[in-house]
Amino acid sequence: MQFSLIFQAPHLAQADALILSMYEDEALHKSPAAADAALGGAIADLLSTGDFTGKASQVAVLYPRGALPARRLILVGLGKRESLTLDTLRRAAAVGVQKARELKAKSLASTLHGRGSALSAESCAQAYLEGAVLGNYQYHGQKSSAPSPELPETLTLVLPEDAQGDKEAVERGMNIGQVLGEATCLARTLVNLPPNLCTPQHLAETARQIAQQHGLSVQVLDRAEMEALKMGALLGVARGSAIPPQFIILEHQPERAAEGKTIVLIGKGITFDTGGYSIKPADSMVAMKNDMAGAAAVLGAMQAIAELKVPRHVVGLVPATFNMISGEAYLPSEVLTASNGKTIEVISTDAEGRLILADALVYAARYKPAAVVDIATLTGSIVVALGNAAAGLFTTNNELREALLAAAEATGERLWTMPMYSDYEKLIESKTADIKNSGGRHGGACIGAVFLKHFADYPAWAHIDMAGMADDLPNNPIYPSGASGYGVRLLTEYVRRAAQ
């Protein structure tokens, strides 16, 4: 979809569909009032029936029949004026675009929802573009019939003439929103791809493309290079797969980045998790192509950070491998040695994510990072705790916790703080190694976080367990079915704020 901005009376915009928004239970004013006058009171009639009240994400369609230049009028509800949030605006943008797509409208014109509220014009424009791009995402998979052409083709934001003063702010917001939306869709497609296509090599190739297009540097370590670095935990997991692992390093190094302020983002890239010899039941295995959603979030965030030219040195690390079964696959009771020399007794080969992250966390130390954030579909346990409503946030650093929670609030990509009590440490004590990789089911997400802490040897580290957020998030029009792309906007926002 192509986006543009013009200044004219919105109700006079020419388009296949004109989208106007209304707050709940309010009298008509501004663009809807002007449109209503031209339509001889058709909107007032609609409101009087109670069929449309302006409730958040509610949508109605009217046909102007020549009374307006647009062929269709789509009304979108914003809910109560006093409870307006950026998330309401994202959803409103998504439902408007989805309705237009359903009607096969090619060209859209729309008012900037939320403009004139307490939210800035820039953030309203950003939220609009995020919602429109995210809501319009479709994954066609490998169907042999050609997908229908992408609709709508164009969306023009129409602001009244007297809003010219907002032009720069709105354009800035539109750019940020589009960058974030598209980077999220990149992550979605990586997660949606089946595991025979989304291999460690495909993740590496995607990283190279991002680097080439957006001016990042990229390095991909192969198995021999990982062996030289003694990444025994990651290599232990990778041993069962004929397709070799990749360790991806993307680096955003802007000229005006401050010294000593490096942020490292780490994404878990298990391109399919069979569970290994601790094999998963068939029903819970089938979704496991999503076990690289953390990697996808980091790749998407690195693209957005580069496009937005965030003035901060940021490194993205992706340990990528399959977790498979073969004659060489690693076994329960094996002891692996991670690259910091710590030995790990393998209790469950299905607790593989923490093993590949362990070596990535150790690798991150070489940058002397100001902060490290890892993101992973780590445990089923976090899904039991939080469902599909939030990811779990684990950190012992207050400043980093507050920064990540603020980014979560701003983006609507929720985080909920989880504990890292020393009690959990007891549960990963091993008789044969320094620690073991599983401490039982109770508190499994917390145990996973406490395990990772053994490899995060720097002052500020946070772990995000997004296992419940990777795909099929219910009841939100900005998340069509399939992968959510969760984490791209969250990580980018965190880094943008940190760079200010």
Residue 107 in tokens: 């060209």
Packing angle between helix 121-135 and helix 86-102, nearest 10 degrees?
Answer: 40
Helix-strand-coil split of the chain, %, nearest 5:
40, 20, 40
> Whose Cβ is closer to Mg ion: residue 60's or residue 270's?
270
Packing angle between helix 488-498 and helix 167-192, nearest 10 degrees?
Answer: 140
| Residue 353 lies near Mg ion (rule: CB under 5 A) | yes
The answer to whether the beta carbons of residues 55 and 77 sit under 8 Å apart is yes
| Residue 350 lies near Mg ion (rule: CB under 5 A) | yes
Q: Which of residues 271-300 bind Mg ion (CB under 5 A)?
A: 273, 291
> Whose Cβ is closer to Mg ion: residue 351's or residue 450's?
351
Q: How far is the CB of 286 from Mg ion (least distance, A)?
A: 13
x-or-dash string of contact with Mg ion, 33-72, rule CB under 5 A: ----------------------------------------
x-or-dash string of contact with Mg ion, 403-422, rule CB under 5 A: --------------------
Residue with tokens 């080969």: 349
Rg over CA atoms, the chain:
24
Q: How far is the CB of 431 from Mg ion (least distance, A)?
A: 23
Q: Is 280 assigned a catalytic role? A: yes
C-alpha angle 245-241-338 in degrees, rounded to nearest 5? 55
In the three-class reduction of DSSP (H, G, I as helix; E, B as strand; rest coil), residue 77 is classed as strand
Q: Which of 72, 354, 489, 496 is catalytic?
A: 354
> Whose Cβ is closer to Mg ion: residue 69's or residue 380's?
380
Q: How far is the CB of 291 from Mg ion (least distance, A)?
A: 4
Q: How far is the CB of 396 from Mg ion (least distance, A)?
A: 24
The answer to whether the beta carbons of residues 328 and 411 sit under 8 Å apart is no
> Whose Cβ is closer to Mg ion: residue 251's or residue 273's?
273
Residue 5 in tokens: 């901005």
Binding segment toward Mg ion, per CB under 5 A, in 257-265, 269-277, 366-374, 465-473: 269-277
> Whose Cβ is closer to Mg ion: residue 152's or residue 275's?
275
Size of the site for Mg ion (CB under 5 A): 6
Residue 299 in tokens: 């790749």
x-or-dash string of contact with Mg ion, 214-253, rule CB under 5 A: ----------------------------------------
Nearest one of 138, 156, 157 to 147, comparing CA atoms: 138
The answer to whether the beta carbons of residues 17 and 74 sit under 8 Å apart is yes
> Whose Cβ is closer to Mg ion: residue 156's or residue 199's?
199
Residue with tokens 């984490």: 487
Q: Which of 80, 230, 280, 342 is catalytic?
A: 280
CA 428 to chain centroid, in Å, comes to 31
Q: Is 489 assigned a catalytic role? A: no
Binding segment toward Mg ion, per CB under 5 A, in 13-21, 87-95, 266-274, 431-439: 266-274
Residue 174 in tokens: 């539109």
Which are the contacts of 368, defined by CB distance < 8 A and separation ≥ 6? 260, 262, 458
Residue 255 in tokens: 């000229």
Q: How far is the CB of 448 from Mg ion (least distance, A)?
A: 10
Q: How far is the CB of 379 from Mg ion (least distance, A)?
A: 8
Active site residues: 280, 354
Residue ranges binding Mg ion (CB under 5 A): 270, 273, 291, 350, 352-353
